[in-house]
Amino acid sequence: TQQLVSKASVKAPRARPYRVSTADRSVRKGVTACSLEDLLHKVQDLLMLKDKPFSLVLEEDGTAVETEEYFQALGGNTVFMVLQKGQRWQPLSEQGTQYQL
Amino acid sequence: TQQLVSKASVKAPRARPYRVSTADRSVRKGVTACSLEDLLHKVQDLLMLKDKPFSLVLEEDGTAVETEEYFQALGGNTVFMVLQKGQRWQPLSEQGTQYQL
């Protein structure tokens, strides 16, 4: 049994939980993914972005997440933001009053 | 399986995640690197700086990062800023209005 477990963990990278926000921070959803490609596919479904180009950045500071290596180095529970064409990252404090007093 | 894992971890120095910003803070990208040299090479590709001299400073206060020892002592997720010839570090508050009111 131990061998089976070891093999499985080599073949299938463990799926970790992440959070994905829209650019205006009005929608935030939880999702699991084992790779950046997996996450991109799931985000497409979650936020109904079929055929709409988008990129992923870190919600906290807008850092572009473009490589599998960087994605894997991030921890679970990282919050991503989806930027569609024409959208750009903005700090929370500039985003109107929706989450502020 | 255990042996394979051990060997892999010995051969490859652990790559850590970092963030790299342009001098005007308009572009910020995530990247992994295991050494300062590795980071400099990757930044060259990421920001298309082939044959353009540049240096790395800390984004938060412009501290020059010039030695491997200092780089290794910094934690993961450090935010670096790329300064090309003629560019100098500026605090966020002086950088026009792009991230301010």
Question: Is 90 exceeded by the pLDDT of residue B10?
Answer: no
User: pLDDT by residue (tens digit) across A4-44?
Assistant: 555 544 555 689 999 999 999 999 999 999 999 999 999 99
The reply to whether residue A61 touches residue B15, judged by beta carbons under 8 angstroms, is no
With respect to residue B56, please indicate whether it lies within any of the assigned structural domains.
Answer: yes
Give the one of A7, A69, A90 whose C-beta lies nearest to B32's C-beta. A69
Q: Residues B80, B20: contact at Cβ < 8 Å?
A: yes
Residue B98 lies in a domain: no
Residue type, A78: T
A50 in a structural domain: yes
State yes or no: pLDDT of B89 exceeds 90: yes
Using an 8 Å Cβ cutoff, are B64 and B81 in contact?
A: no
Q: Which domain holds residue B65?
A: 13-87
What pLDDT band is residue B58 in, cutting at 50, 70 and 90? very high
Determine the Cα–Cα distance for residues A89 and B71; give it in Å rounded to an integer: 28
pLDDT computed for residue A94 by the predictor: 76
Which residues on chain A are in Cβ contact (under 8 Å) with B30? Answer: 58, 63-67, 70, 74
β-pairing verdict for A28-33 and B16-21: unpaired
Q: Mind telling me how many Å the CA of B76 is from chain A's nearest CA?
A: 9
Q: What is the mean pLDDT of chain A?
A: 87
ipTM over 0.85: no
The answer on pLDDT for A98 being more than 70 is no
Asked if the structure places residue B22 within a domain, the reply is: yes
- Taking each continuous run of H as one helix and of E as one strand, the counts in chain B are 3, 4
Does residue A78 belong to any structural domain of this protein?
A: yes
Structural domain contains residue B2: no
- Is the predicted pLDDT of residue B2 greater than 70, yes or no? no
- Tens-digit pLDDT profile for residues A34-70: 999 999 999 999 999 999 999 999 999 999 999 999 9
Q: Is B13 on the interface with A (CB under 8 A)?
A: no
Could you tell me the CATH number of the domain that includes residue A42?
3.10.20.10
* Confidence band for B9, pLDDT divided at 50, 70 and 90: very low
Binned at pLDDT 50, 70 and 90, residue A96 comes out as low
Number of domains in chain B: 1
Averaged confidence pLDDT in chain B? 87
